[in-house]
Amino acid sequence: MFISFDFQSDAPIYVQLRNKIIEGIASKQLNPGDPLPSVRNLAKDLGVNMHTINKAYQLLKTDGFIQIHRQRGVVINPDGFPEVTTDFLEKVEEELRPLIAEAICRGMSQEDIRRLCDNLYHQVKEEGAEE
């Protein structure tokens, strides 16, 4: 598995896991229809509690990134992924605005910020190419 946690981070484990799986989808390491480990197996592999995994899966299910079939297991949503909702845009703005404000204070230009985003964009997209 390509998943590990940063226990120094202030982000909760279940949020980190949710994000790692979304990054996996964005980089096409995880594709529609791909199976994910059961909550119990993944918990064992990663050395965390079953409920922590389940919490992350519930978030992903609610947002439409994965499907959970009663006893067949967990799969990356085969029917495609959610659109750009207003909820998502609001979340992005709430988290991005402080970062951009601080970047401005520290003297970054619009070009600097654009470059930073572009770099991250490609970094995420081409994560499956390395290794």
Partner DNA sequence: TTAACTGTTCTATAATAAATATAACAAATA
Partner DNA sequence: TATTTGTTATATTTATTATAGAACAGTTAA
Q: Site residues (CB under 7 A) for DNA?
A: 10, 12-15, 38-41, 47-52, 54-55, 57-58, 61, 68, 70-74
**Local structure of residue 25 (DSSP, 8 states):** H
Closest to 33 measured CA to CA, from 23, 22, 25: 25
- Among a second copy, DNA, none, residue 117 binds (CB under 5-8 Å by kind): a second copy
Number of residues that bind a second copy (CB under 8 A): 44
Tell me how far, at minimum, the Cβ of 76 lies from DNA, in Å. 13
Q: Is 75 helix (H, G, I), strand (E, B) or coil?
A: strand
| CB nearer DNA, residue 25 or residue 66 | 66
**Region for 69 from its dihedrals, namely left if φ exceeds 0, alpha if ψ lies in -120 to 50, beta otherwise:** beta
| CA–CA gap between residue 31 and residue 14 (Å, rounded) | 21
Interface with a second copy, residue 130, by CB under 8 A? no
Which of DNA, a second copy, none binds 70 (CB below 5-8 Å, type-dependent)? Answer: DNA
What is d(CA 30, CA 3) in angstroms, rounded to the nearest whole number?
12
**42-71 residues near a second copy, rule: CB under 8 A:** 65
Q: How far apart are CA 68 and CA 43, in angstroms?
A: 17
The footprint of a second copy (CB under 8 A) covers 9, 11, 19, 22-23, 25-27, 65, 81-85, 88, 91-108, 110, 113-114, 116-118, 120-121, 123-125
